[in-house]
C-alpha cells in the first residue's frame, strides 16, 4: 500500500473517532488524547494531519455534514424522478434538517459560524440541494417571490428555529415549533392557487423564470433576456411598498 491511501485511512479513522465523541459526549470530549485512543493512533499524528484541535473539529463537521447532505441530495433526486409533490418534499426536508441539527448540536454550531459556512463545501452543497427543491416548487407556479428570496427566508427561519430549540431545555421544547415556522415561511412565499395555476403576475413570472432555460424555440440570448425580465417582475414583489 502506498503512503497516500494509508494516510487517507488514518485520517478517516481519526475523523470518525472524533465524530463519535462529539456526538456521544460533546465538544469537551474531543481532546487529542481521547481521539487518539479511540482511533488507535499516536497523538502527534493528529497534529501532523490536522494542525490543531480546531482543524480536527472543522474536518469532523465537514465529514458529518457531507454525509447528511449526500443523503438529502439522494432524496431530492428520488423525489424529482418520481415526480413527488415538491411542497411535501420541501416540508420533509425541513423536518429532517431540524431533527439532524437537534441530534448533532455541536455540528450545527460549528457550521452555523458564518466564517466556516463560507468555506464549507458541505454547506454550499446543502444550499444547492435546497435551491433544487425550491426550483421544483417555482416551476409549478406556486412561488410568489423570487427563488433566491424564498431560499434565504427558509434558511434564516431554519437557523433561528434550531437555535431557539437548542437553547431551550429539552423538557420545555415545543415539538410543533419547527412545523409552525415552516408554515409561516410558506405563507409568505407561496400563492393560494393550485399547482400549475399561478394566481398573480409575480407567481407567473417566477414560474416562467424557472422554466425559461428549457424553452428551445428561443435563442440563448433571448432566453437570458426573458429571464432578466421575469427577474425584474419577481423582485418587485419583495420591495417595500
Q: Are residues 83 and 162 located together in one domain of the fold?
A: yes
Q: For residue 229, is it within any domain?
A: yes
Q: Residue 139's pLDDT is what?
A: 87
Nearest CA to 238 out of 202, 208, 191 is that of: 202
Q: Which of the residues in the chain have pLDDT under 50? A: 1-2
- Mean of all residue pLDDT scores within the chain: 85
Q: Are residues 195 and 170 located together in one domain of the fold?
A: yes
Q: Count CB neighbours of 118 within 10 A.
A: 9
Q: For residue 216, is it within any domain?
A: yes
φ/ψ (deg, to 5) at 143 = -85, 135
Q: Are residues 8 and 115 located together in one domain of the fold?
A: no
Q: For residue 155, is it within any domain?
A: yes
CB 182 within 8 A of CB 157: yes
Angle between helices 3-24 and 43-50 (to 10 degrees): 100
Q: Residue 166's pLDDT is what?
A: 95
Give residue 8's domain range: 1-51
Q: Are residues 212 and 141 located together in one domain of the fold?
A: yes
Q: For residue 214, is it within any domain?
A: yes
Q: How far apart are CA 200 and CA 205, in angstroms?
A: 9
**3-class DSSP state of 143:** strand
Q: Are residues 46 and 145 located together in one domain of the fold?
A: no
Number of domains in the chain: 2
Q: Are residues 41 and 116 located together in one domain of the fold?
A: no
Q: Residue 1's pLDDT is what?
A: 46
Q: How far apart are CA 21 and CA 27, in angstroms?
A: 8
Q: Residue 198's pLDDT is what?
A: 54
Amino acid at each position: 500500500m502506498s503512503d497516500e491511501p494509508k494516510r487517507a485511512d488514518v485520517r478517516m479513522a481519526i475523523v470518525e473517532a472524533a465524530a463519535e465523541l462529539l456526538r456521544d459526549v460533546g465538544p469537551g470530549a474531543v481532546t487529542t488524547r481521547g481521539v487518539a485512543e479511540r482511533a488507535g493512533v499516536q497523538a502527534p499524528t493528529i497534529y501532523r494531519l490536522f494542525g490543531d484541535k480546531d482543524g480536527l473539529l472543522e474536518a469532523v463537521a465537514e465529514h458529518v455534514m457531507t454525509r447528511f447532505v449526500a443523503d438529502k441530495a439522494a432524496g431530492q433526486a428520488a423525489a424529482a424522478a418520481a415526480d413527488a409533490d415538491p411542497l411535501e418534499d420541501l416540508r420533509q426536508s425541513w423536518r429532517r434538517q431540524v431533527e439532524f441539527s437537534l441530534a448533532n448540536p455541536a455540528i450545527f454550531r460549528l457550521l452555523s459560524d458564518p466564517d466556516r459556512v463560507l468555506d464549507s463545501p458541505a454547506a454550499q452543497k446543502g444550499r444547492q440541494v435546497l435551491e433544487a427543491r425550491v426550483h421544483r416548487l417555482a416551476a409549478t407556479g406556486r412561488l410568489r417571490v423570487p427563488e433566491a428570496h424564498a431560499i434565504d427566508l427558509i434558511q434564516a427561519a431554519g437557523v433561528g428555529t434550531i437555535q431557539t430549540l437548542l437553547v431551550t431545555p429539552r423538557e420545555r421544547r415545543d415539538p410543533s415549533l419547527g412545523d409552525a415556522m415552516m408554515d409561516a415561511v410558506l405563507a409568505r412565499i407561496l400563492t393560494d392557487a393550485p399547482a400549475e395555476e399561478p394566481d398573480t403576475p409575480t407567481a407567473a413570472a417566477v414560474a416562467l423564470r424557472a422554466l425559461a432555460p428549457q424553452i428551445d424555440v428561443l435563442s440563448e440570448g433571448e432566453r437570458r433576456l426573458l429571464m432578466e425580465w421575469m427577474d425584474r417582475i419577481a423582485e418587485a414583489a419583495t420591495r417595500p411598498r
